[in-house]
Amino acid sequence: MKKALLPRSTTLVLALVLALCTLLYASWKTVHFIWLSHRETINERQPFQPIMVARWRKLDWREVLNVPDRSKKELPWFDTRLPTNNEPPDFPYQRGPIGNSWFASSPYDPGSFLPNSRFKWKRGLAITGPGSEPMIGWHGTLHSHTGWSDGAATPQEAYGFARDRGGLDFFAVTDHPEFWLFNPGRTWDQLKEIAAMANRPDFVALPGFEYSSPIFGHYTVIGSDGVCSAIKCPELSDFYRWLLLPKNRDALVAFAHPLVQRDNAGRFEFAQMGFVPALEKQMFGVEVIHWSGHDRFHFGFSGRQPFIDEAMAQGWHTGALGSQDNHSLNWGLANARIGVLSKNLDRPSLIEALRARRFYATSSRDLEMAFDAKTSTGTWTPMGGIIQIPRPQKTKAKSTDVKLMIETRLRLFEPDQYNAPRRIEWILDGRVISRLDFEGLPHELASTEDTANYYSGEITGAFSERLVSDGERHYLYARMFMGDDFATYAQSSPIIFSGHHSPSKP
């Protein structure tokens, strides 16, 4: 008779230890999830020091969207129930059915159930204001998965779904290449071919991947020459060195869903966003909206300010990204996305706008938004841009005290009646410097034309140039809370004020 490999008492002890470890792990996951999900507003943790007075004016949709022909009376709805005579002759979008389409999705936004809130007539409708280069806001997402990793279906189906049923203008498949180790037939060259075949005049398909380290976090990569999995690049330094190879210098990289991978609690994730100067031009964004949630990204690793502020303080120039991170058959159906400001919808124009950080994150499906700033002697610079601020020169001659000001301008068009703008905040170097609350219902920016409601306006403000003229690097962005419970969110990419190029101190 064979003897047992371990005495019964030892087996019992090991079983108890394993059960205890499992219980502790489950408890930690639960407590950590509650901690991350706690809806604490950023203003409760940061002192509010208003140094800018904001003003608003309501605009007609023709004015805010710079419609070339102001005689047009029809709102630019994309609704299958409306007659086609509301569309221009070269209308580039298909009119999909209501059933099983994006109209019947997303519990986060009641407006997504209503076809009459779908704004898709974009050709020629520029959101930027007077004095700015006319640009259109194109909607899309740069983070999604298919059955090539931990999602569903194929990249071909994902591109087609996002284009024809999701209603997106651009879309990237970014599967985890770690899964390809077990599927040799799935290659980077094959994904590039699939994306090229999915391109249309009204749709840009991008190939990408998600570097997925269980220790150092996840990064989405667009425009690289090949992939680098966490198996091939186990250390963060390996991944960064791979990005710096000459063949990858045109790649765009983003921090994906900070702290969503809760096990690390941020100790090693992104190595706390440590700044690598050689990668500054490539690290173009950080997700501030994941799926349709934004609250948890207001904590940051420090628990005091959002992740994007921590990245900017380190020296990065990161734009604000909204991610759907699809893992099922719903590409384009979720509300989270980015709006990219560009004249044209093609791959070179899109990549140029992403590299310039000329985009905003939003959990509204149809929000058009532009954010600009300028000095008293300059021109309007769009979100993501850099404004050079010289140090004030001291002179012995007495002169009148001229107050030089930084002007800001936010323009918005929101066609969804459920996404009334409720609060707009301006953040300078991680601090709220101004706040505008809309209290009235119906909303102050609301307009009604025939049976359609929409929100449209321009919000301006100015603050002293002295705050950013000390020769250091400063940044400014705007964020907007919408809906009755502030659940819908939008955030511009930061504008940088630079006297000389040096990162701010954290």
Q: Given this model, what pLDDT does residue 301 score?
A: 87
Picking from 120-124, 270-274, 335-339, which range would have the lowest pLDDT averaged per residue? 120-124
Q: What pLDDT is stored for residue 98 in this prediction?
A: 36
Residue 77 is classified by DSSP as B
CA 152 to chain centre: 24
Query: Is 393 in a helix, a strand, or coil?
Result: coil
pLDDT of residue 501: 46
Candidates 298, 346, 343; CA nearest to 320 is 298
What count of other Cβ atoms lies within 10 Å of the Cβ of residue 95?
13
Q: pLDDT per residue over 81-113, tens digit each?
A: 444 554 556 655 444 433 333 333 343 333 344
Exposure string for 301-339, b = 16+ CB within 10 A, e = fewer = beeebbbbbbbbbbbbbbbbbbbbbbeeebbbbbbbbbb
| Cβ within 8 Å of residue 392, ≥6 positions away | 466, 469
Amino acid in the structure at residue 472? E
Paired strand residues for 424: 436, 480
Q: Residue 387: which of 374, 376, 370 has the closest Cα?
A: 374
The predicted structure's pLDDT at residue 284: 98
Segment 402-413 mean pLDDT:
92
pLDDT (tens digit, 9 = 90+) per residue, 125-168?
899 999 999 999 999 999 999 999 999 999 999 999 888 778 88
The three-state secondary structure class of 269 is helix
Task: Give a three-class secondary structure readout of 356-373.
Answer: CCCEEEECCCCCEEEEEE
Query: Lowest mean pLDDT: which of 24-28, 67-71, 379-383, 494-498?
Result: 24-28
> What was the pLDDT predicted at 366?
85
Task: Using the predicted structure, report yes or no on whether residue 357 has a pLDDT greater than 60.
Answer: yes
Residue 228 has pLDDT above 50, yes or no: yes
pLDDT of residue 304: 85
Asked whether residue 229 carries a pLDDT value surpassing 90, the answer given is yes
Q: Confirm if 490 and 363 have CB atoms less than 8 A apart.
A: yes
Q: Which residues contact 190 (CB under 8 A, 6 or more apart)?
A: none
Structural domains in the chain, sorted by start = 49-498 (3.20.20.140)
Which tens digit of pLDDT belongs to each residue from 425-482?
Answer: 999 999 999 999 998 767 789 887 655 678 999 999 999 999 999 999 999 999 999 9
CA distance 71 to 393: 50
pLDDT-derived band at 268 (thresholds 50, 70, 90) equals confident
Higher pLDDT, 393 or 198: 198
Give the tens place of pLDDT for each residue, 14-50.
777 777 766 655 554 444 444 444 434 444 445 677 8
| Mean of the per-residue pLDDT values of the chain | 82
What number of residues does the chain have?
506
Cis peptide bond N-terminal to 442, omega within 30: yes
% of the chain at pLDDT higher than 70: 77
Q: How far is CA 165 from the centre of its chain?
A: 21
Q: Give CA separation, 319 vs 69, 284, 334, 353, 496, in Å.
A: 33, 6, 20, 11, 11
Q: What is the pLDDT of residue 196?
A: 97
pLDDT band at 316 (very low <50, low <70, confident <90, very high): very high
Predicted confidence (pLDDT) at residue 485 exceeds the cutoff of 90: no
Q: E strands along 214-315, which residues?
A: 217-222, 252-256, 283-290
- Distance in angstroms between the alpha carbons of the first and the last residue of the chain: 68
Provide, rounded to the nearest whole percent, the portion of the chain with pLDDT above 90.
Answer: 55
How far apart are alpha carbons 410 and 8 in whole angstroms?
A: 71
User: Which pLDDT does position 381 carry in this prediction?
Assistant: 98
